Structure 1
Amino acid sequence: MGHIISLGVSLAAFWMLLSGSVSLDHKLVLGFGVASVVLTVFLALRMDRIDGNPVSINLRPRLIRYWIWLAKEIGKANIDVAKIVLSTKLEISPRMVRVKATQKTDVGIATFANSITLTPGTVTVDIEDDEILVHAITNEMAEGLLQSDMDDRITAVEARIR
């Protein structure tokens, strides 16, 4: 029950932060916010009941440090992609690479795959067992991904979540 309440409160706070409109003068907007929070909580409850395997992610310092690290990596990759796009010569060398995922859970692997896709210049194309197929727009980005410690960081966060 605490999970449901905290989810609802978190979603409502997030909605109020993004909407910027919590005045009763905006009844339609407020109604949409309430409806979206209720629907999301209902769907989350239903998902937990269907697979019987609820996912609980606690905001631990290691997870927050990972998000900060990922934000920095996304920023650096944005700069790299901007340089490619703004250069007079379009120096790309598209490449597909397979990256080994060491995570033990589906949530861990999905987090790794989504982190790769969030980083500009790389896109997760397929996940098969413990390998992720990634498209990179340059050889440097592909090599950077293969040499990155992203997999290790996510595995460490995953170990703390379980």
Structure 2
Amino acid sequence: MAYFLGLFVALVAFWLGMSGHYTPLLLCLGSVSVALCLILAYRLDLIDSEGSPYGRMLGFSLYFPWLMKEIIKANWTVIQACLRADLDIAPALVKVKSVCRSDLAKVTFANSITLTPGTVTVAIEGDKLLVHGLYEQDSQPEAFAEMDRRSARAIDGRGATT
């Protein structure tokens, strides 16, 4: 029920914010639109913890600044590699085991890796991610453990349990 109410509030706020008109006719049409969206979301079984991420806002708001810091650090490493006269990169493909339970947490972890310059998530198979990195020494599975733990805590609401 909480996810249903959260979706209702989000849809009403979005509609009112985008419309900007509060005449009786438009408010009625907006009510019908919101009701229709809620009915369709319920019928399609989209109202769940992954479809309505309102409970994760706090965890993600704590994760986002940390991720930005990691992206800036990785940018600096890639910029240094580009500006050197000799290209000393040593690319590597590694498999990283994740502690994330939900698909949303795994995708968040994979996207966080890809957002970090110098690394790309190539594939996700079960709880393992195939990651390509510019530097073999920086692309070891343990190098991603902190990001994995923080992704799991932000999205699944828990830390690593190994």
The TM-score, its normalising length taken from structure 1, stands at: 0.68
| Counterpart check, 1:106 vs 2:103 | yes
Query: Which structure has the larger Rg over C-alpha atoms?
Result: 2
**How many angstroms apart in 1 are the aligned matches of 2:15 and 2:87?**
42
Number of the residue aligned with 1:61: 58
8 Å contact 2:113–2:119 — kept in the other structure?
yes
8 Å contact 2:105–2:155 — kept in the other structure?
yes
Q: What is the one-letter code of the residue matched to 1:62?
A: G
Aligned with residue 82 of structure 2, among 64, 68, 85: 85
Q: What is the one-letter code of the residue matched to 1:50?
A: L
Q: Tell me: CA distance 1:10–1:85, structure 2 relative to 1, closer, same or farther (3 Å).
A: farther
Number of the residue aligned with 2:142: 146
1:7-22 alignment, distance < 5 Å: 7=11, 9=13
Higher relative contact order, chain-length normalized (CA < 8 Å, sep 6+): 2
The TM-score, its normalising length taken from structure 2, stands at: 0.68
| SS at structure 1 position matched to 2:124 | strand
Q: Tell me: CA distance 1:2–1:106, structure 2 relative to 1, closer, same or farther (3 Å).
A: closer
Which consecutive residues of structure 1, in runs of 5 or more, have no partner in the other structure?
16-21, 23-37
8 Å contact 1:99–1:132 — kept in the other structure?
yes
Aligned with residue 116 of structure 2, among 116, 119, 143: 119
Q: Tell me: CA distance 1:100–1:11, structure 2 relative to 1, closer, same or farther (3 Å).
A: farther
Runs of 4+ aligned structure 1 residues displaced above 4 Å come to 10-13, 44-49
Cα deviation, 1:20-40, whole Å, max 9, x if unaligned, reads xx9xxxxxxxxxxxxxxx9xx
Q: What is the one-letter code of the residue matched to 2:154?
A: V
| SS at structure 2 position matched to 1:140 | coil
RMSD of aligned Cα (Å)? 3.0
Q: What is the one-letter code of the residue matched to 2:105?
A: G
| Counterpart check, 1:96 vs 2:85 | no
Aligned with residue 69 of structure 2, among 62, 69, 72: 72
8 Å contact 2:105–2:156 — kept in the other structure?
no
Offset of 1:160 from its aligned partner? 2.5
**How many angstroms apart in 2 are the aligned matches of 1:87 and 1:129?**
38
**How many angstroms apart in 1 are the aligned matches of 2:6 and 2:150?**
29
Q: What is the one-letter code of the residue matched to 1:107?
A: L
Identity fraction in percent = 35
